[in-house]
Structure 1
Amino acid sequence: MMKKRFRIKKEHDFQLVFKKRKSFANRQFVIYLSDHPKTNHMRVGISVSKRLGNAVKRNKIKRRIRVFFQKHQDRLEPKEYVVIARQPVSNMDYHEMEKSLVHVLKIAKCIK
């Protein structure tokens, strides 16, 4: 499970990341980035639209994204990430999602 200090939960925190307007995308994900001046670790917020499926399916997608960020924590820059899942994600397994997230994070130059 991802520790509380690594999560973005509040609407206000999401808005602060969106205001920076640094976003990178591929067909499956949009990632918004923001530097976090107070901490030296990353924080992750995840948004999955109701259009992607029922609550069970959306929670499964969120869990997989969280697992990805835990697994690759040491390779990622200490920034704030807001991940928005797009439609194709609903039909992907974990390995496809992982490949897609690595791809979009390489575009953003956030992964070592």
Structure 2
Amino acid sequence: MRRSLRLQGKKNFSRVYKEGSVVRSDYVVVYFLPASEQRVAVVVSKRFGNAVRRNRIRRLLLEAWQENHDHLPSGYYIILPRSSLLSVEENVWRSKVKELFHEWQWASGKNSPHCSAVL
């Protein structure tokens, strides 16, 4: 991922968490705050395993976002995997996360996201 697409800084994270909208699925939680540019961060806590496993989860979630980011509105995204992600096979949660980004729709004239599919 290009460095220019990374969401960085405590101030930006705090704004997204406080002012942003939230979309929850079975395997991820996505925070979104509309902005003039598109940036993303994936936050994987230590409960997901060692560094190798956390980095793999991070890479796969970024891959799912990158495949669909051209169709998503500009803004700041924070992607958090849920612990249920650990209880299923990798190909299952990867396909569900890709579906989430693919199915992501936006209410016209609103900044709050909603997803038409129950994932």
Q: TM-score, normalised by structure 1?
A: 0.79
How far apart are the structure 1 equivalents of 2:59 and 2:91?
Answer: 10
**Among candidates 41, 44, 57, match of residue 45 of structure 1:** 41
SS in 2 for 1:8: coil
Contact 1:22–1:33 at 8 Å: present in 2 too?
yes
Contact 2:41–2:79 at 8 Å: present in 1 too?
yes
Contact 1:9–1:45 at 8 Å: present in 2 too?
yes
Q: Which has the higher contact order (CA 8 A, sep 6+)?
A: 1
Identity, % of aligned positions:
26
Partner residue in 2 for 1:25: 24
Does 1:99 find its partner at 2:110? no
How far apart are the structure 1 equivalents of 2:99 and 2:40?
Answer: 15
Paired positions, count: 107
SS in 2 for 1:100: helix
Q: TM-score, normalised by structure 2?
A: 0.75
Long gaps (5+) in structure 1? none
How far apart are the structure 1 equivalents of 2:91 and 2:5?
Answer: 21
Does 1:61 find its partner at 2:60? no
Cα RMSD for the two superposed structures: 2.4
What letter matches 2:15 in structure 1?
L
Q: How does 1:53-92 map to 2 (within 5 A)?
A: 53-90=49-86, 91-92=88-89
4+ aligned runs moved over 4 Å, structure 1: none
Long gaps (5+) in structure 2? 106-112
